[in-house]
Structure 1
Amino acid sequence: MPSGAMFGLAVLVLILAIILSAFRILREYERGVVFLLGRFYRVKGPGLIIVIPIIQQMVRVDLRTIVMDVPTQDVISRDNVSVRVNAVIYFRVLDSQKAIINVEDYLQATSQLAQTTLRSVLGQHELDEMLANRDMLNTDIQSILDTRTDGWGIKVSNVEIKHVDLNETMVRAIAKQAEAERTRRAKVIHASGEMEASAKLVEAAAKLAQEPNAILLRYLQTLTEIASEKNSTILFPLPMELLQGVMEKKTQVLKKTSNKSKD
């Protein structure tokens, strides 16, 4: 084959390769940020797009929600307790132009910002709040991240604190505190029950005092309840009113005996 024909064929193949390289296919969740001679041109996609080789360059951007694991951070709470906390954030790119032009690497920038924000927000709260009010802390962190990443074209949709790890000493201290709290509640409940019972007893005593025979009926009922348990020994309170007549007669007999002795 003549050299001229070979050269022509090579040029033809090169032209076809350049033409084919100009065609790009972007998926539904992708966008292409196109630069024309180094300057921003437009955002293209999805589907089939044409990028002129050499003159134009394209950067792909994924618009799907990204799940990023925030590395474990050492945090000192407001009450001077050292804890290790990690979290996960959910975010996505809303503005492809800002995500490529306004920040060098939006993934790395978002990760670093999430770590510093996690330490800053949790450091303003006490340990009890970290353990009990995670929803509030998640909302605060998400709001701060969403505001600061708005200039990067990123929307932070959710933040979840996964683990709050404590050392063994603090775990034992929290266990003692929880035990003391349960003991306190038990004493308060017992005292409250005693107060309610005393009020009911006073009310019952007032009703029994209105009828003299009512207390005797109550004694007999108590004796029946005790006897049903087959006890060998029964201690039964006896009202002094029942012995009043016997005591009076005994006193009269003693007085007569004393008078006779004097005579």
Structure 2
Amino acid sequence: MPLIEALPKLISWAIPLIVLAVIILPQAIRILREYERGVIFRLGKLLGAKGPGLIFLIPIVDRMVRMDLRVVTISVEKQEVMTRDNVPVTVDAVVYFRVIDPQAAVVKVENFLKATSLMSQTTLRSVLGQAPLDDLLSQRESINLKLQEIIDRQTEPWGVKVTAVEVKDVALPDTMKRAMAKQAEAERERRA
């Protein structure tokens, strides 16, 4: 009989505890995959990066920013560049990078994706503007390496490692294409 009398009291405690566990537990536990890290802040102060695996947080007190460590590909939009020998060309490129320091990527720059993209655009314009058209067409590998080194050096403080930069397309103006075709034809006729 005493068990039956204690049952309503037990239920009155058990229901709020179950509801509390159902609400708080999902906020307190996070699972990070092998390629993810969680940058933890406690009351706004950086605690550090954790993961992969099971991460426990204090609800309301802790905040976690999830970071993906896999290689990210961004396409640098087409832009018109004036080469060193004053030839206007339209170029676009692809930049491959990954986060190597999740803490720096969260704390030292507001948006590392946007910052890396904008840095790539300005560096592309700057480096290609220093090269003559012949180098741009014939020495693309060395230009790609130079772009990678410069962008990597500039993004390193943000915890970002640039693994490759590829200039995809160099589009010449139509007048330049016609002039080059005439020059090539004249060269062939001279040899014959």
Fold-level match, TM-score > 0.5? yes
Give yes or no for the alignment of 1:145 onto 2:151: yes
- Check if 1:131 corresponds to 2:137: yes
Equivalent of 2:177 in 171, 183, 192? 171
* RMSD (Å) for aligned C-alpha atoms: 1.7
Alignment partners' CA distance in 2, 1:50 and 1:143? 39
Looking at both structures, which has the greater relative contact order when contacts are Cα pairs under 8 Å and sequence separation is at least 6?
Answer: 2
- Residues 8-17 or 56-65, more deviating: 8-17
Aligned pairs for 1:205-220 within 5 A: none
Whether 1:180 and 2:186 are equivalent positions in the alignment is: yes
Correspondence list, 1:1-263, <5 A? 9-10=15-16, 12-184=18-190, 186=191
Provide the secondary structure at the position in 2 that maps to 1:103: coil
Q: In the comparison of the two structures, how many residue pairs are matched?
A: 183
Corresponding position of 2:5: none
For residue 169 of structure 1, give the secondary structure of its aligned residue in structure 2: helix
TM-score, scaled relative to structure 2: 0.90
Structure 1 residue 180, shift from structure 2 partner: 2.8
Structure 1 residue aligned with 2:4 = none
| Separation in 1, partners of 2:51, 2:38 | 6
Offset at 1:80?
Answer: 1.0
- Separation (CA, whole Å) in 2 of partners of 1:36 and 1:131: 52
The CA distance in 2 between the partners of 1:20 and 1:137, in whole Å, is 50
Q: Which has the larger radius of gyration?
A: 1
3-state SS, counterpart of residue 64 of structure 1: coil
Aligned mates of 1:57, 1:36 — CA distance in 2? 6
Gaps of 5+ in 1: 188-263
In the alignment, the residues of structure 1 paired with residue 163 and residue 26 of structure 2 have an alpha-carbon distance, to the nearest angstrom, of 39
Instruction: Give the letter for the 1:158 counterpart.
Output: A
Unaligned runs of at least 5 residues, structure 2: 1-7
Aligned to 1:205: none
What secondary structure does 1:149 align onto? helix
The alpha carbon displacement at 1:155 in A equals 0.5
Distance in 2, Cα, partners of 1:180 & 1:14: 84
Measure how far apart 1:14 and its partner are. Answer: 2.2
TM-score (norm 1): 0.66
User: How big is the shift at 1:34?
Assistant: 0.3
How much identity, in percent, do the aligned residues show?
Answer: 54
**Could you say which structure has the higher strand fraction?**
2
